[in-house]
Amino acid sequence: MLLEVKNLRIAFRREGHETVPVRDVSFTVPQHGRVAVVGESGCGKSLTALSLLRLPPTDRAYISGTTTFTGKRISYVFQNPSDSLNPVMRISAQIREALPKGMSKAAAEALVVELLARTGLPDPKRAAHAYPCELSGGQQQRAMIAMALAAAPDLLVADDPTTALDVTTQKQVLELIDSLAAETGMAVLLITHNLGLVAGRMDEVNVMYAGQIVEAGPVLEVLANPRHPYTRGLLAAVPALDAPRDAPLADIPGTVPPPDQWPDGCAFAPRCAFADERCRAENPPVTVVGSVRHACFH
Ligand SMILES: Nc1ncnc2c1ncn2[C@@H]1O[C@H](COP(=O)(O)OP(=O)(O)OP(=O)(O)O)[C@@H](O)[C@H]1O
Ligand code: SF4
Ligand SMILES: [Mg+2]
C-alpha cells in the first residue's frame, strides 16, 4: 500500500474548548491508485489531506492516528491556486524551488518550460516568465500541476483542484491530471465536493460527512448501489444531462453545521429523512458489506 491513514483525528483547542473537525478517519491509497474523498464544504476533506504533509497549524491542531507512506514524495495541488501561488515571484522561480538541487540555471529553466508544456499551456515560455496575476485561473492551476510534477511524486494530492474554474476548464484540468497519472504512474488522491467527477475517473471513493467517512468502497459499487443516505443525496444532486430542462434539481436539505454544532448520535440525522430515535442517540458503527464500508443503522 502506498498510503495508509488510520484513525486520523484532528482537534483544535481554543480557550479550553475543543472542536474535532476530523474524527477517526481511515483510508488507503494503493500504488498507482486513484482514490477520491467526496463531501460538502466543511466536512474536513482539506484538513484530512493537509495532515498528510503536516500542514495544519501545529500550534493549534492536535493530530493523532497513524499515517504510513511507503513512497518518497507527495505533491499537493492546493484548492485555490491564486491564494497558494506566491504573487511576487515569477512562475518559473516557484517551480524551480521544487526541482532537485544542484541543477544549472539553464537546465532548470528548460525543465520548467518542458513541465509547463506537459500541462498543455499554449505558450509555456511566456507562462514561465509570468507572475501569477498574469495567468487565468485555469492557467494558474496548470502551473501548480507543473510544480507538483517537478518533484516526480509517487502521490499527487489534488484538493478540489477545479472549484475556482469554469466547467470547461474544470474538465480540461481533470483530464490533464488523469493523463499525467497514466503517463507517470503516480497515484492520485482527489478531493472534491462533486460525486459526479469520480465516475469513470477514480477507482475508490470515500464519502465524508462531518469529519467522518460514512461510506467507502469501489466507485462502481458505491455509485451503483449507494447505501448511506448522504451518498444517495450527493448522487441525486449531480445534474443529469438527459433530465428534463424544467425538472427541479435535487438537494440535501440544510447545510453542514460547524464542528462545534455536530450533534450526538449520527451527525447526519438532522438532515436525514430516515432518522429515528436510535440515530439521534448513537453514532452508527461501520458495517462492512463485501468491499463497501458504511456507517448507517438503516
Ligand atoms: N485552522 C483551523 N482552525 C480551526 N478550525 C479549522 C481550521 N481549519 C479548518 N477548520 C474547520 O474544520 C472544518 C473542516 O474544514 P476543511 O477545510 O477541512 O473543510 P473542507 O471539507 O475541505 O471544505 P471545502 O469543501 O469548503 O474546502 C471547517 O468547519 C473549518 O472551519
Ligand atoms: S444512521 Fe440514521 S440518521 Fe444516520 S444516515 Fe443512517 S438513517 Fe440517517
Ligand atoms: Mg477544502
Query: Where do we find the cell 488507503?
Result: 28
Instruction: Please tell me the residue having the least CA distance from ligand 2 atom 3.
Output: 269
Ligand nearest to the CA of 22: 1
pLDDT of residue 90: 96
Q: How confident is the prediction along the chain (298 residues), in pLDDT tens digits per residue?
A: 999 999 999 999 888 889 999 999 999 999 999 999 999 999 999 999 999 998 877 778 899 999 999 999 999 999 888 888 999 999 999 999 989 888 899 999 999 999 999 888 889 999 999 999 999 988 998 899 999 988 889 999 999 988 777 788 788 888 888 988 999 999 999 999 999 889 989 999 999 999 999 999 999 999 999 999 999 999 988 877 788 888 888 888 899 999 999 999 999 999 999 999 999 999 999 999 999 999 999 9
What spacing in Å lies between the alpha carbon of 167 and ligand 2's midpoint?
33
3-state class of 253 per DSSP?
Answer: coil
3-state class of 223 per DSSP?
Answer: helix
Q: Which one-letter DSSP state was computed for residue 245?
A: T
What spacing in Å lies between the alpha carbon of 212 and ligand 2's midpoint?
13
Query: Could you tell me the residue range of the domain that residue 188 belongs to?
Result: 3-212
Give a yes or no: residue 290 inside a domain.
no
pTM: predicted TM-score of the whole model, two decimal places: 0.93
Compute the distance between CA of residue 218 and CA of residue 202 in angstroms, rounded to an integer: 9
Burial of 76 per CB tally in 10 Å (0-12, 13-18, 19+)? buried
pLDDT of residue 133: 95
Q: Establish whether residue 258 lines the binding site of ligand 1, counting it when its CB lies within 6 angstroms of any ligand atom.
A: yes
What spacing in Å lies between the alpha carbon of 226 and ligand 3's midpoint?
23
pLDDT of residue 214: 98
What spacing in Å lies between the alpha carbon of 44 and ligand 1's midpoint?
5
Instruction: Please tell me the residue having the least CA distance from ligand 1 atom 11.
Output: 21
Instruction: Let me know: does 211 contact 41? Beta carbons within 8 Å.
Output: no
CATH of the domain at 50: 3.40.50.300
Give a yes or no: residue 223 inside a domain.
no
Cβ count within 10 A of residue 123: 13
Compute the distance between CA of residue 133 and CA of residue 69 in angstroms, rounded to an integer: 35
Which grid cell sits at 152? 516526480
pLDDT of residue 29: 98
Give a yes or no: residue 75 inside a domain.
yes
What is the Cβ-side half-sphere exposure of residue 161, based on CA atoms within 13 angstroms?
Answer: 30
Q: Establish whether residue 138 lines the binding site of ligand 1, counting it when its CB lies within 6 angstroms of any ligand atom.
A: no
Q: Establish whether residue 293 lines the binding site of ligand 1, counting it when its CB lies within 6 angstroms of any ligand atom.
A: no
Q: How far is CA 117 from CA 31, 114, 187, in A?
A: 26, 5, 21
Burial of 120 per CB tally in 10 Å (0-12, 13-18, 19+)? middle
pLDDT of residue 118: 86
- One DSSP character per residue, 258-291 reads PGGGPPSS-TTGGG-TT--HHHHHSPPPPEEETT
Give a yes or no: residue 275 inside a domain.
no
pLDDT of residue 176: 86
Give a yes or no: residue 218 inside a domain.
no
Number of domains in the chain: 1
Closest atom, ligand 1, to C-alpha of 12: 4
Q: Establish whether residue 46 lines the binding site of ligand 1, counting it when its CB lies within 6 angstroms of any ligand atom.
A: yes
Give a yes or no: residue 235 inside a domain.
no
Compute the distance between CA of residue 175 and CA of residue 173 in angstroms, rounded to an integer: 5
Please give the single-letter amino acid code of residue 168.
Answer: T
Give a yes or no: residue 249 inside a domain.
no
Give a yes or no: residue 269 inside a domain.
no
Closest atom, ligand 1, to C-alpha of 258: 29
Backbone angles phi, psi at 63, to 5 degrees: -110, 130
Residue 217 gets the label, from left (phi > 0), alpha (psi -120 to 50) or beta, of left
